Each structure stands twice: as C-alpha cells, then as structure tokens.
C-alpha cells in the first residue's frame, strides 16, 4: 500500500503509539484530583504542555488543548467574537476556501443573522488581497484565515492579512492545521492572535489539537469548566496530549523534511505531465506547502482515476465532497473559478514524512499505462 493522503491524516510513529499507550497504562489519573494519581497526571500534563509549547514557540499558558482543529476553530471564532462584541464589533470575516467544517460554522452564523463576509481567491488559489482589504473594516471582530489550504496546498498571506486586521483593530485567527509540521512554525513570530492545529495531521493521534492563544487576548470559553485555565472545560485527554507532544517532538528539522517532500512532489507532477497528455496541476504557480499535489487528468472523473489508483494500491482522495452518493465540486476549486466538470476531475495526492522516492517512481511507472488509453478516449470524446 502506498499512502498519498497525508492531508487527510498521517500514520503515527511507533514513538507516538508508545507515548499514548504508556500514558494510558501508567498515568490514568484525573489531572484535577488531589491524590497521588491525580498529581501524577497533573505533572505529566504539565510536562507534555511544556514540550508542545517549546516546539511551537509559545508559552505553556498560551496552549489550550481541544479535541482537534474543528473545535479549536470554533473556539477561536466564537470565543474571540463574543469577547469583542461589547466593543461594538460584530462582523466576522472568513476566506472562501476555509476547511468545509469551518465554512459550515460560517453558514450557521449567517443563519443566526450575524454579519459574515468572505474573502475571495484568485484563479491560482492565492488569496485576493483587494477582496481582503474590502472585507476587513472597523466593524470586524474576527478574521479567520487558513495558513495553507488542505486541497491545493496554497499558502495564504498571513502577514498581509495581519496588517489589515491590525489596522482595523480586529483579531486574527489562523487555521494552521495543514501548515504546522509541513513548514517551519513559531507562534511567537507568527503574528496571529490565535492559531488552530490538529495532532493527527502531523503524526499524532486523532481527537486532539490545540488553540494557541496569545497572552492577554480575551476569549470567551465555549465549553465551561475549570480546565485549561477556564478556557476549555472537560477532563484533559492526557494520553492523546502525550501522543501530540511526542509527534511534535518527533518532527525534527521541518525545513529539511519539507524540501525533500517538495522535491518528490515536483518529480511526481513533472513525471505525470511528461508521461501523459492533459495533466493539469491546480495552483501550480502559487506558493504551496510541500507535499500537496492537486491535479486532474483531462476531464476524467476523479472516481475513475481513484479506482485505478486503488488498483495499484495507492491511497489518495478526490477534491469533491461526496455525500450519500452524490458529489459536489470542491468549494475551493469553485472559488478559484474552475468549471464544474474540471473540478469533478480533481484528485489530491498528498505526500508526507513516510513517502519515499520509490513510492513516486512506482506511481510514475504504473499509473500512466492505465490512464493513457482513457485519456485518448477522453480527448476523442471532447473533440
């Protein structure tokens, strides 16, 4: 099996599994309990938090553990918005290409008649800064922008948007779920007020993530309780936190890993384009995070390509959101102005730390012979 779906989730290393298992076995107390089991858990939680904070470049008190990025995103937008409301700021601004779950929150806010605006993107998937400048005005409470897009891999201009948010007096939340682990990250220098991330995108367990919240920024909790300095209630998921810390500690030299993965991604895209006609890479000209390749083979429907990949033992995904049999084109490609039939042909191959040059060589040798006859038919059909 060749796993090219690292943007969906990543395989945990043996060290991560061991950290989770050892914590579940040996440190099963509740960190709020006063007896020795509780104190042991409290100590382990503090140690894991210190480790997470060290790798991410934040203070331990700036980390709020959550059940993942979806919850961190909700906490950031709802919590920062609620805290800013008294100052007469009500508007919330999202980019049009946020993660589907985050855009569902935007839709829920619209249904509650809250003022919500969206920043558009250019044809290459980069953020439209004119649209950002129009959307971010003095009535804005929160701007929520992803650091790297999960479908295209396109890097978003966090510094430019921070300048706009700062000038307007708005808070900036960045969903860095597809960025942390794929590119060097340091919260102290990142410039956002709040940053979401998720352990399972960087080799950690599912169901654990964090919101990093800059010291002194007011946030209204969405889950009440004494944990996480009253910012997120609920007994801490200590085994998962330990696995998250182990995954972050295991990242090592992120820049070196990223350049290796970017080379493999480029070799993959160039190899496919050499071997087959009509291979189009979405957002090819834009700055992209290492490892993400989003392409279409002519207008071959994604499911046809995915079926051939499956035949070869390659795990990948489409850009379409499939729900009960029907498929809708990706909202990201739609926002980029990609026509429906081309968007429904989009296939995402996402490489990661476990991807080898042999995996790419195999794919480049095995996939073109399976797709070439289909592409000829496809071209004939189009003509």
| Interface ranges with ligand PMP (CB under 6 A) | 68-70, 99, 101, 146, 150, 175, 177-178, 198, 209
Active site (annotated) includes residue 322: yes
Contact 9, 206 (CB under 8 A): yes
Nearer to ligand PMP, 9 or 30 (CB): 9
Which residues, at least 6 apart from 63, have a Cβ–Cβ distance to it below 8 Å?
A: 49, 52, 53, 56, 210, 212
Contact 210, 231 (CB under 8 A): no
Nearer to ligand PMP, 174 or 272 (CB): 174
Nearer to ligand PMP, 181 or 209 (CB): 209
First to last CA, the chain: 37
Q: What's the min distance (Å) between Cβ of 42 and ligand PMP? A: 25
H or E, element range at 292: strand 292-297
Q: Which residue of the set 322, 357, 365, 379 is catalytic?
A: 322
CA distance 162 to 174: 10
Q: What's the min distance (Å) between Cβ of 100 and ligand PMP? A: 8
Nearer to ligand PMP, 5 or 359 (CB): 5
Pick from 5, 14, 6, 81: which is nearest to 243 by CA? 14
Contact 45, 52 (CB under 8 A): no
Q: Which residue is nearest to ligand PMP (CB)?
A: 68
Q: What's the min distance (Å) between Cβ of 266 and ligand PMP? A: 22
CA distance 228 to 79: 14
Q: What's the min distance (Å) between Cβ of 204 and ligand PMP? A: 10
Q: What's the min distance (Å) between Cβ of 181 and ligand PMP? A: 12
Contact 227, 252 (CB under 8 A): no
Q: Which two tokens stand for residue 239?
A: 């085994």
Q: How big is the chain by its Cα radius of gyration, in Å? A: 22
Nearer to ligand PMP, 73 or 355 (CB): 73
CA distance 30 to 36: 10
- Residues annotated catalytic, as ranges: 322
């Amino acid at each position: 099996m060749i796993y090219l779906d690292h943007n969906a989730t990543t395989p945990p290393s043996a060290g991560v599994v061991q950290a989770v298992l050892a914590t579940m076995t040996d440190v099963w107390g509740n960190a709020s309990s006063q007896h020795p089991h509780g104190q042991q858990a409290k100590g382990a939680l503090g140690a894991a938090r210190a480790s997470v904070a060290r790798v991410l470049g934040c203070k331990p008190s700036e980390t709020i553990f959550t059940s993942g990025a979806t919850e961190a995103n909700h906490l950031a937008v709802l919590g920062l918005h609620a805290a800013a409301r008294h100052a007469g700021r009500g508007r919330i601004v999202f980019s049009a290409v946020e993660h589907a779950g985050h855009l569902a929150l935007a839709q829920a806010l619209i249904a509650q008649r809250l003022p919500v605006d969206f920043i558009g993107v250019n044809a290459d998937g980069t953020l439209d800064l004119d649209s950002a400048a129009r959307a971010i005005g003095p009535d804005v409470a929160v701007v929520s922008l992803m650091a790297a897009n999960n479908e295209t891999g396109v890097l978003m201009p966090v510094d430019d948007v921070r300048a706009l948010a700062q000038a307007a007096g708005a808070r900036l939340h960045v969903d860095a779920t597809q960025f942390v682990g794929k590119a060097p990250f340091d919260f102290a220098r990142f410039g956002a007020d709040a940053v979401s991330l998720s352990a399972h995108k960087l080799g950690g367990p599912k169901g654990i993530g964090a919101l990093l919240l800059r010291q002194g920024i007011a946030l209204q909790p969405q889950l009440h309780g004494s944990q996480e300095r009253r910012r997120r209630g609920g007994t801490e998921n200590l085994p998962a936190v330990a696995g998250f810390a182990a995954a972050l500690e295991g990242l090592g030299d992120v820049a070196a890993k990223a350049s290796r993965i970017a080379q493999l991604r480029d070799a993959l895209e160039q190899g496919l384009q050499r071997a087959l006609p009509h291979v189009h890479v979405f957002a090819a000209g834009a700055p992209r995070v290492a490892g993400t390749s989003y392409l279409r083979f002519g207008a071959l429907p994604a499911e046809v390509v995915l079926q051939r990949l499956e035949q070869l033992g390659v795990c990948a995904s489409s850009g379409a959101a499939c729900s009960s049999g029907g498929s809708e084109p990706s909202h990201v490609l739609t926002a980029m102005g990609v026509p429906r039939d081309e968007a429904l042909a989009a296939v995402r191959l996402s490489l990661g730390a476990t991807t080898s040059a042999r995996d790419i060589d195999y794919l480049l040798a095995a996939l073109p012979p399976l797709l070439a006859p289909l592409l000829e038919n496809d071209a004939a059909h189009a003509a």
